[in-house]
Amino acid sequence: MANIISDETIEYVGILAKLELSEEERQRAKKDMGDMLDYIDKLNELDTTGVEPISHVFPVNNVFREDVVENGDDSDNMLKNAPSVKEKSYMAPKTIG
């Protein structure tokens, strides 16, 4: 029943979550995730055969609207929050060599 989280799994989760873990964090994460999954496995006691999964308690439908711009151009203010800006654009590290 106990969930043993392998190094490979933590590595994989790190890639999905875009997190870089120190060795200490990695060991802690293995233990914490194993403990949590053991605890979550309690749900297996429940027979949910034929029960529809619900993500929202009320029916949620797509909300459509006319494609009309309602907000003004606030790009100067928005760019003030960016760590790096060039020519009214966000600056990110090079992705193509």
Partner 1 sequence: MSLTRLTALELSNKIKAGEATVLEAVEAALDAIEKREKDVHSFVTVDREGALKRAGEVQKLIDDKTLTGALAGVPVAVKDNLCTSGIKTTCSSRILSNFVPTYTAQAVENLEAAGAVILGKTNMDEFAMGSTTETSAFGVTRNPWNTAHVPGGSSGGSCAAVAAEECFYALGSDTGGSIRQPSAFCGVTGIKPTYGTVSRYGLIAYGSSLDQIGPVAKDVADCAAILEVISSYDKKDSTSVKREDTDFTSALVDDVKGMRIGIPRDYFGEGLDREVKEAVLAAAGKLEEKGAVVEEFDLSLVEYAIPAYYVIASAEASSNLARFDGVKYGYRAEAFEGLHDMYKKTRSQGFGPEVKRRIMLGSFVLSSGYYDAYYLKALRTKALIKQAFDRAFEKYDVILGPAAPTTAPRLGESLDDPIKMYLGDIYTISVNLAGLPGISLPCGVDGGGLPIGMQIIGDCFQEKKIIRAAYAFERTREYRRCPITEESKGGRG
Q: Which two tokens stand for residue 47?
A: 């027979």
For the bound state, the minimum distance from the C-beta of residue 45 to partner 1, rounded and expressed in Å, comes to 8
- Residues within the interface to partner 1 (CB under 8 A): 9-10, 12-14, 16-21, 25, 28-29, 32-33, 35-37, 39-46, 48, 51-58, 60, 62-63, 65, 74, 77-78, 80-84, 90, 92-95
- Of 97, 96, 77, which Cα lies nearest the Cα of 88? 77
Residue entry with tokens 């439908």: 61
- CB–CB of 1/41 below 8 Å? yes
Look at residue 63 and give its three-state secondary structure: coil
For the bound state, the minimum distance from the C-beta of residue 94 to partner 1, rounded and expressed in Å, comes to 7
Q: 4 or 16, CB closer to partner 1?
A: 16
Q: 1 or 43, CB closer to partner 1?
A: 43
- CB–CB of 37/3 below 8 Å? yes
For the bound state, the minimum distance from the C-beta of residue 7 to partner 1, rounded and expressed in Å, comes to 14
